[in-house]
Chains A and B, each alone.
Chain A
Amino acid sequence: MTGLTGSIPAASRWPHAGARLRLWLWLAWLVALGLGLVGIYQRMTQGHLPAGYGSYVPWGLWVAIYFHGVGIAGGAFVLGAGGFVLGLPGFGHPALVRTVIVLAVAAILPAFMGVWLDLGHMGRAPFIFLYPNFTSMMAFNAWMYNAFLIVAVVCWLLSLKSRSGWLRPLLCLAILFSILFPSQSGAFFGVVEAKGFWHSALLPMLFLASAITAGAATLLVVRAIADDQGLSRTEHDLAVARLRTVTLVGLIVYFVFEFAEFSIALWNPNTHAPAVELILWGPYWWVFWIVHLLLGGLVPLVLLITRRPRAWTGAALLIAGAFISARLNVLVPGQAVGEIQGLQEAFHHERLTYIYHATVMEYLVGLFLLAVGAAVFFLGERINRWAARRATSFSRGEA
């Protein structure tokens, strides 16, 4: 094991990523960035006109990406930093904490960018900090994310010191934030009494469960491809096995919660039922049955119960990607059922309907956000390595 400041030999990073794979990853990133920039150009020059959302379904793909991103950030941080604080084998290295912080930042920044692009007045985003209304879950969330980011950056700096009595306490505070903000994401919808499907006390728990599951899966992918981070093979394997267990349990808990939600709604049809029926049998039935249940649930479940770590990584990749459907299936159907029958026929306009289809521009911007997340993670890891080297040479010089 390396020193406490966590210098990791650069050569040990990304050992599985051969030159050809790296080239493909770079190409994929460039394509995502290039296409994404087209979407950004459209958004900047034409505003919201090329978007598919309207006044009766005001939020679409970008808001789903936002909640997926902050969920991954919160879930990954809880597990990575929690493992460090508790001194779990395979987690007790400051370099791993820095990786988790970079991962959280790489997930949160594009999420913020997505919701920023969704605003009608992007230039007024700072108003949330200047004139906050804390009865609004949106303001509360925004403050919580930013408090988390500040504390996480302080933790990152402290982790470079050879010894700090504040690192673990501040990590505990950041862990508290990272448990609270995915739960608040559920409360964000849960407090909206106007939407029968959203107005459920189960929603914060559902969002927390999906954050832990997607966060654990993303961290598992990172740990798997980033190899042993200078740890012993046993410690690395223990960490990956533990993340696999968390992902598996999280997956089961999430689907149990979802079954509870859906079965009660359908058993005795009430205000929830139309939205649930829309999820199951509506025009986007395949998002639930194929993306969410099959690719995000059953296939990963089968892969995770095998004894092959490579299969776990595959399962984790599937969950990290497909769990965005969990957000979409809360977000869109909740808005797509109106309280007043006949309202969309009362005044005809394409933005006054309960039907939402994400447009090309929205998908392109989604690609851009993915590219930004990947770039932030890549650069963050480079900075991690550089900072660790500096800290180590500094501590050697001191000695």
Chain B
Amino acid sequence: MSMDRREFLRSGALAGAGLAAAAGLVVRDRLRQEARDPTGSETARQLPAPPPAVSGLAEDSLLRMQRELARAMAKPAEQRRWVMVIDQRKCVGCHACTIGCVAENKLPPGVVYRPVVTEERGAFPNVHLKFTPRPCMQCERPPCVPVCPVKATWRRPDGVTVVDYDRCIGCRYCLTACPYGARTSDFGEYYTDGAAVGADGRAVAGPRGPWEDQANHEYAKRWNRAGRASPLGNARKCHFCLHRLEVGGLPMCVTTCIGRATFFGDTNDAESLVSELMATHNVYTLLPHKGTQPRVFYVA
């Protein structure tokens, strides 16, 4: 039995309405950018800054960046534009930034925000090593954001892409979408789980070190993984240590860099060190053909 005219018209109307609704929802979410973060004067911070450099004396770049950070934080969030510049000529591959980041954010096993990629070049005896620290690129066009099914990740007005740990469902779609592999999932591992126990029954390093249950303070909140709570089960990533910026501290990887190879600052400040470095060097970005427009620049 085939369809009569009325059924045919109903079919067309339903199919048309279904397609229109689907297209409408996609277009709506493509065009509409929800304001998730506060902006304006309420986001400005008056933070203490180191005294100005003494004229004629050399100054540690950390002090200068600290001063510039205080200057940037005095502006509303939307007027800041954080970038990181990494001078690979100075990086010695010590991994202090990686470890500093792990300690600062209390990252569990399998979660890393800033690994240092080592590349061996040339043929013996003419060989050299090139080190590429890889934090989150804080892309202008982050591919991880549109794939999130629940709007748990977005780009802040200051250019930092963040994750709402309380919203993230742990689907890991964003992990696949990042060409830099900058997102890792917290699968719930602990460093000391299953570690040896002494003959007297006292834990040598386990069953779980109490330090592993300490909360971290990412996004200026208190996160404790006990009881499988977030961020366990979530996608995690580098956030330029936003919680430290809020209180006037530079990102941990910047302060732990023994070679002073990592620079951080506000490119909207023409006087800042990062602006100066970007203007005076041929900086490059990783995987530029991906069109993500990273905000982490390298000097090679």
A residues contacting B by CB (< 8 A) are: 47-49, 51, 54-56, 58-59, 85-87, 92, 118-121, 124-125, 127-128, 130-140, 142, 144, 147, 165-166, 168-170, 172-173, 176-177, 180, 191-195, 335, 338-343, 345-347, 349-352
Number of A-B contacts (CB under 8 A): 203
Quick check: A172 and B26 within 8 Å, CB to CB?
A: no
Q: Once the chains are docked, how many angstroms separate the CA of A52 from the CA of B42?
A: 46
Quick check: B115 and A133 within 8 Å, CB to CB?
A: no
Name A194's contact: one of B18, B19, B176, B186 (CB within 8 Å): B176
The reply on B177 being an interface residue by CB < 8 A is: yes
Quick check: B18 and A177 within 8 Å, CB to CB?
A: yes
Quick check: B112 and A339 within 8 Å, CB to CB?
A: no
Q: Once the chains are docked, how many angstroms separate the CA of A140 from the CA of B146?
A: 12
The reply on B46 being an interface residue by CB < 8 A is: no
Given A135-B146, A138-B173, A121-B1 contact (CB < 8 Å):
no
The reply on B3 being an interface residue by CB < 8 A is: yes
The 0/1 profile, CB within 8 Å of A marked 1, for residues 14-54 of chain B is 11001100100110111000000000000000000000000
Quick check: B112 and A352 within 8 Å, CB to CB?
A: yes
* Complex interface: chain A residues within 8 A of B147 (CB): 135-138, 191-192
Name B29's contact: one of A135, A142, A349 (CB within 8 Å): A135
The reply on B189 being an interface residue by CB < 8 A is: yes
Quick check: A351 and B187 within 8 Å, CB to CB?
A: yes
Q: Which of B77-85, B116-124, B204-212, B243-251 is the interface stretch?
A: B116-124
For A347, give the chain B residue with the smallest CB separation: B115
Quick check: B150 and A134 within 8 Å, CB to CB?
A: no
Q: Once the chains are docked, how many angstroms separate the CA of A172 from the CA of B178?
A: 38
Can you list 17 pairs linking A and B with CB atoms under 8 Å apart?
A47-B188, A49-B189, A54-B185, A58-B172, A59-B172, A127-B150, A127-B167, A127-B169, A132-B150, A132-B151, A133-B148, A136-B146, A168-B10, A172-B15, A173-B18, A194-B177, A349-B112
* Complex interface: chain B residues within 8 A of A339 (CB): 179-181, 287, 290
Quick check: A134 and B28 within 8 Å, CB to CB?
A: yes
* Complex interface: chain A residues within 8 A of B19 (CB): 176
Q: Once the chains are docked, how many angstroms separate the CA of A35 from the CA of B169?
A: 28
Quick check: A48 and B172 within 8 Å, CB to CB?
A: no
Q: Once the chains are docked, how many angstroms separate the CA of A83 from the CA of B92?
A: 68
The reply on B175 being an interface residue by CB < 8 A is: yes
The reply on B275 being an interface residue by CB < 8 A is: no
Quick check: A138 and B187 within 8 Å, CB to CB?
A: no
Quick check: B117 and A55 within 8 Å, CB to CB?
A: no
Quick check: B181 and A56 within 8 Å, CB to CB?
A: yes
Cβ of B256 to closest chain A Cβ, rounded Å: 16
Quick check: A48 and B187 within 8 Å, CB to CB?
A: yes
Given A56-B181, A133-B148, A192-B177, A345-B7 contact (CB < 8 Å):
no
What 10 new A-B contacts, CB under 8 Å, besides A55-B111, A131-B151, A347-B115? A47-B188, A59-B176, A120-B172, A168-B3, A168-B10, A170-B14, A172-B11, A193-B290, A351-B109, A351-B189
* Complex interface: chain B residues within 8 A of A350 (CB): 110
| Chain A interface, DSSP helix/strand/loop, else mixed | loop
The 0/1 profile, CB within 8 Å of A marked 1, for residues 280-300 of chain B is 000000110011000000000
Q: Which of B133-171 contact A (CB under 8 A)?
A: 134, 143, 146-152, 167-171
Quick check: A194 and B178 within 8 Å, CB to CB?
A: yes
Quick check: A121 and B29 within 8 Å, CB to CB?
A: no
Quick check: B150 and A139 within 8 Å, CB to CB?
A: yes
Given A47-B228, A124-B169, A92-B1 contact (CB < 8 Å):
yes
Quick check: A55 and B183 within 8 Å, CB to CB?
A: yes
Given A120-B234, A192-B147, A352-B184, A343-B134 contact (CB < 8 Å):
yes
Quick check: A128 and B180 within 8 Å, CB to CB?
A: no
Quick check: B2 and A87 within 8 Å, CB to CB?
A: yes
The 0/1 profile, CB within 8 Å of A marked 1, for residues 233-261 of chain B is 11100000000000000000000000000
The reply on B105 being an interface residue by CB < 8 A is: no
For B116, give the chain A residue with the smallest CB separation: A346
List 8 tightest A-B contacts by C-beta distance, closest first: A120-B170, A120-B233, A169-B10, A346-B115, A172-B11, A194-B179, A58-B172, A139-B149
Name A121's contact: one of B6, B11, B98, B230 (CB within 8 Å): B230
For A349, give the chain B residue with the smallest CB separation: B110
For A115, give the chain B residue with the smallest CB separation: B171
Quick check: A133 and B29 within 8 Å, CB to CB?
A: yes
* Complex interface: chain B residues within 8 A of A135 (CB): 26, 29-30, 146-147
Q: Once the chains are docked, how many angstroms separate the CA of A352 from the CA of B15?
A: 45
Name A136's contact: one of B149, B175, B181, B291 (CB within 8 Å): B149
Quick check: B290 and A194 within 8 Å, CB to CB?
A: yes
For A334, give the chain B residue with the smallest CB separation: B176
Quick check: A335 and B184 within 8 Å, CB to CB?
A: no
Cβ of A358 to closest chain B Cβ, rounded Å: 15
Name B169's contact: one of A55, A58, A119 (CB within 8 Å): A119
* Complex interface: chain A residues within 8 A of B183 (CB): 55
Quick check: A120 and B169 within 8 Å, CB to CB?
A: yes
* Complex interface: chain B residues within 8 A of A177 (CB): 18
Q: Once the chains are docked, how many angstroms separate the CA of A170 from the CA of B17?
A: 12
Cβ of A175 to closest chain B Cβ, rounded Å: 9
Given A87-B1, A134-B29, A193-B290, A340-B149 contact (CB < 8 Å):
no
* Complex interface: chain B residues within 8 A of A55 (CB): 110-111, 172, 175, 181, 183-185
Cβ of B132 to closest chain A Cβ, rounded Å: 8
* Complex interface: chain A residues within 8 A of B98 (CB): 347
Q: Once the chains are docked, how many angstroms separate the CA of A395 from the CA of B134?
A: 71
Q: Once the chains are docked, how many angstroms separate the CA of A128 from the CA of B167?
A: 10
